[in-house]
A = this chain, B = another copy of it.
């Protein structure tokens, strides 16, 4: 095993009792020492590999507790150049798509056809560099036989003037022998494998780069069984770079039980998560289940998607099979019914109950959640995206909405996530929302229902240790202490000292998962 010492850093271990450390050592995937550089180097002895973090702030790797990574990966692969009728139109579309991606993440999609452009010449990497200089770009042509790559992509897969053409492929070169960025047939395969359209394995392979670039080192994925299969393929190939806790769709519960799947099964890269149940719908669709209904939609109290008795039955079935339960509940009545159902079903040994979203809750029910140990898996950006709608539709109701402060004070464990692609997965935007209850443009001034704001430390814990706790992984993740996994990120903005308004603009510099650098800003 390689021993690495990450040094010259300001390491916030996640244990708020202690001042930042200077260095951290990992032996293989696990942390073996944290402290001053002298302490850490003494602990590991000679022969360790030194990684200089240039004085950057370090925090535990961020953990998204609720994300649809397959849907998100599909969106990332969607720059569609079929309608472009000139190089300029294609470049404009690429620039727009690039603006939505995480810094340094790969740009994919494509489907360009230079034969229908006003000047039908094959494009080159310099044109692509002009709109996408700082991240690798690899864009298959509409016929799939060519990839148009930028300089960064060529560099990353090690193609230069000295690279011979592979068997069954061609690296197109200019008159000086320099690769132009056009890779034909098998010469394009290494790049195509990173995000081929319509192939979920390739799309997730590309998307994990995007997520790592955002500082996420673990996710609770809420998508389907196809997503599970794709992640298992990546893991078996040794190509998985971030850790996955994979939920089971409710309509697959029976099959999962039949095959003996249990929550926590797996390894540190891929574990089976909880079954995902639904108690109600969503606010925007007027289908969240409310005690008092919606303004301007009299008589509608939303929808109990799963009748109460079925909910109890499903919870008991899952629990008896060793499968944890995470139930979607947005409205106060939905949350109440889920808490009732959890209470009635009884607490299963070794498993944690979760409520996903827990957006609008009665205060008395928060106390009950705490008593029953129910984790609130919440998405801070849902608050800032939906607050205007809440003020309109749920006006005058006695609700605790996105009630992070009330939850924490009551002793409800908080786990944070994004619900991407419903919202962007950037966890630093989530931290800002949790700390300010304003949008990133600062509105509304002072924050919406500001009494529910959290401190930076509290929000960060919810997005690291809190998500780990929701998965029963708090002994492995979320805090940088010996014996836990060496999952950490170096950032250009120290969240504990920076102005809060700069936090959404945080740049991740290095993402380390299992003691190895899995992504690095160039």
Contacts and interface: CB of A to CB of B under 8 A. Distances in A.
Interface string A268-306: 000000000000111011110000000000001001111
Interface string A123-158: 000000000000000000111111000000000000
Interface stretch (A87-95, A163-171, A443-451): A163-171
Interface residues of A, number: 40
B143 A422 contact: yes
A186 interface: yes
A285 B167 contact: no
A134 B439 CA distance: 43
B115 A389 contact: yes
Nearest to A307: B167
Contact of A200 (B114, B169, B226): B226
The majority secondary structure among interface residues of chain A is loop
A393 to B, nearest CB: 9
Contact of A284 (B115, B280, B282): B115
Interface string A153-193: 00000000000000111100000000000001110000000
Chain B CB count within 10 A is highest, among A184, A185, A422, for: A185
Nearest to A200: B226
A457 to B, nearest CB: 32
Nearest to A305: B168
A484 interface: no
Contacts of A168: 303-307
A287 B146 contact: yes
A207 to B, nearest CB: 13
A441 to B, nearest CB: 16
Given A142-B422, A145-B285, A184-B287, 6 more contacts: A114-B284, A143-B282, A168-B306, A185-B303, A199-B226, A200-B226
22 contacts: A71-B198, A114-B284, A115-B389, A122-B286, A141-B284, A141-B285, A142-B284, A143-B282, A143-B284, A144-B282, A146-B281, A168-B304, A170-B300, A170-B303, A184-B285, A184-B286, A184-B303, A185-B280, A185-B281, A185-B287, A199-B224, A200-B226
Q: Give the 3 A-B CB pairs with smallest separation, nearest first.
A: A145-B281, A145-B285, A146-B285
